[in-house]
Amino acid sequence: MINYNIQTNSIIVTDSEDANLRIEVFRKGRNDAELKVAGQQYLNDLLRQQKNWDQVPGNPVRDDTYMNGSLARSDYTITTTEGQAIKAKLLADWPTEVPDYENSNINLVAEYTANRPPYVNDSISWYSFGHTLPPGAIRSTYSLSNRARDYREWYGLKFDKVTKNVLCKAVYTWQGLVRNKRSDMILPTLPTWLRNPEDAINWRLPNMYGALLHDKSGNINEYYDIYFTCHEYLLKEWCEDNSITFSHTADIKDDVMIYGMTVKGTTGEIKYVKAYTRYFL
């Protein structure tokens, strides 16, 4: 539990489960509410990322996704036994969708049930890594931007096992998300400790980025995702204050790689909070 001790000239932030954690932030003209936010920001900057989660060739992983309080799905490096089994299903039903599902041996694949919109059927997820921007064929098929600065280093395809339709999940920098979202999409009201999204310099601190779902007709789905690193207690506290179901009940805080939110773009409503853990196999 995070404790906030507001004093005359400062706030002292402590963690009841970590006797070594003590952060003092001076008031500097702030009122009590502003001082608490400053304390939360310092806490988040200190603890948001404590491990190196990067994949390396030859060191496969399993990434678990938690949502609505429980485990929702597991992704596997494509070189694992589980990954090869899923790759075989992709080759059977979508043999020419991409030139090589194993273009990188750190690609991730998963099978999952439709547990949130916009997904309606059981599906396969495939993420391809190591790109400056999605390949030209993908950009053309899904009407994506050609600006490299808009993207993170990976993209995904979502394969509907019933309809056989395929969606592209393009992963954008924060600035790329803002540039490429639909004009009617609303950015949600986010925690103040994630800093002001209009401030591009500070906004990079929590490792903030997003993703949009594109179809082959050039449409962008109204549901989109935002991802960020943060301290678990800050997010849990914020979810309680805003009546949003926290991502998990399991004790996984030391394994969480990143958190996410699914947003309904037409209203700006945060529908789900997600947690992504990583385990090296």
Band the pLDDT of 236: cuts 50, 70, 90: very high
pLDDT average, residue stretch 104-133: 96
Closest CA to 155 of 173, 179, 175: 173
Q: Is the pLDDT confidence value at 125 over 60? A: yes
CA-CA distance, 75 to 180, in Å (whole number)?
27
Check whether 203 has a pLDDT greater than 70: no
The string of pLDDT tens digits covering residues 148-196 is 999 999 999 999 999 999 999 999 999 999 999 999 999 999 998 886 4
- In this predicted structure, which of 140-144, 172-176, 200-204 has the lowest mean pLDDT? 200-204
Report pLDDT for 197.
46
Of 92, 159, 98, 185, residue with least CA distance to 134: 98
Q: Which of 51-55, 175-179, 223-227, 271-275 has the lowest mean pLDDT?
A: 51-55
Helices marked H in the chain: 32-47, 81-93, 136-141, 174-180, 200-203, 232-241
Name the least confident of 40-44, 141-145, 199-203, 209-213.
199-203
Encode pLDDT of 82-108 as tens digits: 999 999 999 999 999 999 999 999 999
The terminus-to-terminus CA distance of the chain in angstroms comes to 31
Asked if residue 30 lies in contact with residue 6, where contact means CB atoms within 8 angstroms, the answer is: no
Q: Write the pLDDT tens digit of every residue in 35-74.
A: 999 898 888 877 655 566 777 778 899 999 999 999 999 9
Query: What is the Cα–Cα distance from 169 to 158, expressed in whole angstroms?
Result: 7
Counting every residue, how long is the chain? 281
Question: How far is the CA of 44 from the CAs of 54, 106, 192, 234, in angstroms?
Answer: 20, 29, 11, 8
